[in-house]
Structure 1
Amino acid sequence: MISSLRGTVLRASGAEAVIEVAGVGYLVNVTPEHALSLRVGDEALVHTTLIVREDALTLYGFVDVEQLGVFELLLGVNGVGPKSALGVLAALTPDQIAAAVQADDDVAFRKVSGIGPKTAKLIVVQLAGKLHVTTRVTAAPASPSARRTIADDVRIALVGLGWPEKAAAGAVDEVLAELGDAAAEASPASVPALLRRALALLGPSAGQTAGAAR
């Protein structure tokens, strides 16, 4: 079992990253926002789990053990495979997943590409009592130039998920327009939240149209 990788980032785009450890490059499936946080040439620590199938050995990587733990819990739900579990974590934070489960809110999961109504309900039922909401620290506001980078990051993530450049850019612009003054508080930590807002605007059919989110 490969539980973590620490090495040099050779490539990071879409929903994949290549981490070189001792001269060997490992292809790791990650969420789009995780891929955006990795910089080519930098050293990175990725918490991983190895999924073994008859025809493939596939690594899935996460920014922390909390995400990894939620991923493994999702795999225990009937009808949820690795790609769908990663899709849930691409759309929802561990806290949001825990909150949805506690509130018996399966709608949050039905918005994720690859998760149907029956599976969404099973997630809520089978994860009940296994997740807890934690308190998050709010990051400091970013400068206008940083906000531009954040908007670009969200757009790039949407393109990585398969959306056309024009549709991705339009969704990002609409999200920023909806936020208004609140957009001034955007920080690098806001990328996942902005990405989820953009995905909500584009609709749950994103993965069905692009086929890249799963």
Structure 2
Amino acid sequence: MIGKLKGTVDEVADDHAVIDVHGVGYVAYCSTRTLAKLTAGEAGVLHIETYVREDVIRLYGFASKLEREWFRLLQSVQGVGAKVALAVLSTLSTSDLANAVALQDKATVARAPGIGPKVALRIVSELKTKAPAFAGEALPSIGLKQELGEGVAAAPVSDAVSALTNLGYSRDQAANAVAAALKDAGENADSARLIRLGLKELAR
């Protein structure tokens, strides 16, 4: 079983890369985000998920272990295979995906090619309890986003997020700003203070 490839990038195509490891070229199918980090002729490292079927052995390559974990996690959802999982990871970074799941934001997930509303809903519903463990950079605000996604956030928090989204910020941006504002203002801050501090955060 191949878990990692380290060698020279021989070729970067639309959906795969060829990694030359001591004269042997390995074809690894990757998200466009991972492919964008590879340059032909330069050194490259891919974390690999190996699929063995009766008629084919296929390698999927990822720039990080976290991306590989999300690839596995996505396929635990009914209707999501390797191709669809790669499409999601091509459209959303792992942090964006963790945020979308926590916020139950099926519209963001549905931006990926091949993802319809029903599959997007299944992804955010079935993976919501697992998002914190795979949040990566999104971890500091993931708890707040889960509360918002489940509709159980404190009124000042949800009011502040709503006000910021009404000003044109995405729900994710608004939630991040309010999470940062809570650190400064404390848990008992009212919505007006959270909005003010959130706007300062967004202006940085």
What is the CA deviation profile of residues 112-169 of structure 1, one whole-angstrom value per residue up to 9, with x for unaligned ones?
A: 1111121111111111111233437xxxxxxxxxxxxxxxxxxxxxxxxxxxxxxxxx
Residue equivalent to 1:5: 5
- Aligned counterparts of 1:119 and 1:54: Cα–Cα separation in 2: 28
What is the one-letter code of the residue matched to 1:61?
G
For residues 41-56 of structure 1, the aligned pairs below 5 Å read 41-56=41-56
Contact map agreement 2:7 2:43 (CA 8 A) in 1:
yes
Contact map agreement 1:15 1:29 (CA 8 A) in 2:
yes
For residues 54-203 of structure 1, the aligned pairs below 5 Å read 54-132=54-132, 133-135=135-137
- Aligned counterparts of 2:70 and 2:11: Cα–Cα separation in 1: 25
SS at match of 2:122: helix
What is the one-letter code of the residue matched to 2:137?
T
TM-score (normalizing by structure 1): 0.60
What is the CA deviation profile of residues 65-113 of structure 1, one whole-angstrom value per residue up to 9, with x for unaligned ones?
A: 0101111100111110001000000000111111111111111121211
Contact map agreement 2:66 2:136 (CA 8 A) in 1:
no
TM-score (normalizing by structure 2): 0.63
**Cα distance, 1:57 vs. partner?**
1.2
Contact map agreement 1:19 1:26 (CA 8 A) in 2:
yes
For residues 11-26 of structure 1, the aligned pairs below 5 Å read 11-26=11-26
- Aligned counterparts of 2:10 and 2:62: Cα–Cα separation in 1: 17
SS at match of 2:36: helix
RMSD of aligned C-alpha atoms?
1.4
SS at match of 1:73: helix
Contact map agreement 2:15 2:31 (CA 8 A) in 1:
yes
Contact map agreement 1:13 1:32 (CA 8 A) in 2:
no
- Aligned counterparts of 1:9 and 1:49: Cα–Cα separation in 2: 18
**Cα distance, 1:53 vs. partner?**
2.4
Does the C-alpha gap of structure 1 residues 28 and 134 become closer, same or farther in structure 2, counting only changes over 3 Å?
closer
What is the CA deviation profile of residues 164-185 of structure 1, one whole-angstrom value per residue up to 9, with x for unaligned ones?
A: xxxxxxxxxxxxxxxxxxxxxx
Where structure 1 has 5 or more consecutive residues not aligned to the other structure, the ranges are 137-214
Give aligned pairs, total: 136
- Aligned counterparts of 2:112 and 2:121: Cα–Cα separation in 1: 13
Where structure 2 has 5 or more consecutive residues not aligned to the other structure, the ranges are 139-204
- Aligned counterparts of 1:77 and 1:28: Cα–Cα separation in 2: 23
Identity over aligned residues, as a percent?
38
Contact map agreement 2:33 2:89 (CA 8 A) in 1:
no
Choose 114-123 or 78-87, whichever is displaced more. 114-123
